[in-house]
Amino acid sequence: RENRKWVLENAKDKKVLNLFSYTSGFSVLSALGQAKEIDTVDVSQNFIEWSKRNFEINQVLSSESYRFWVQDCLFFLKMSVKKEKKWDLIICDPPTFGRSKNGVFQIEKNFDELLQNIFTCTEKQGRILFSLNFEKWNQQYLINKVEKALKEKKFAIEKTPFQSLDFDFPHYDHLMKSLFISRL
């Protein structure tokens, strides 16, 4: 909830990419926050249709600046790197595991490639909002993975807004891990 609120308050005039978009909560809030462009990507046609309905339900008018892509996110990123396409804000909330016609996605196996391609597609001074619900990794492990994957790049890691107490049980390790990665 806090990450979505942050996007609403910080999307103005930004080019936004929402990867693994599911039903596009982040894309809708980017539009409501007056992003200038939004690309929404998910491998599922059903989720993209659901995303479009969520734009309508939230009275976000259709625009040529709002694009929906039924595509494997790794493939989309590889093509974006080739075309030198860049965004000011990239939101990535990948699943732990997923299947597509292009193969199997596993966060443990594909993390470095995913993050390196996302970073390449981020404008200078742009930000990545990366969140993950993988129960085998804690926040520090995620930070260590980011530092290793981007070791030769110029970036800064920042904390995301504190997640409200009702998100997880207070005395347990938080399942939700998120952070900002700023391209310097």
For residues 82 and 173, the model is more confident at 82
Q: φ and ψ at 144, to 5 degrees?
A: -60, -40
Q: What angle do CA 60, 45, 177 make, to 5 degrees?
A: 75
Instruction: Copy the structure tokens of residue 151.
Output: 């070791």
Concatenated DSSP letters of 70-137: ES-HHHHHHHHHHTT--EEEEEE---SEEEETTEEEEHHHHHHHHHHHHHHTEEEEEEEEEEE--TT-
pLDDT tens digit sequence for 124-153 = 999 999 999 888 999 999 999 999 999 999
Residue 173 has pLDDT above 60, yes or no: no
Question: Mean pLDDT, the chain, as a whole number?
Answer: 91
For residues 27 and 159, the model is more confident at 27
- Rounded Cα distance, 133 and 175, in Å: 5
Full-model pTM = 0.92
Q: What is the mean pLDDT of residues 118-129?
A: 98
Residue 171's pLDDT is what? Answer: 52
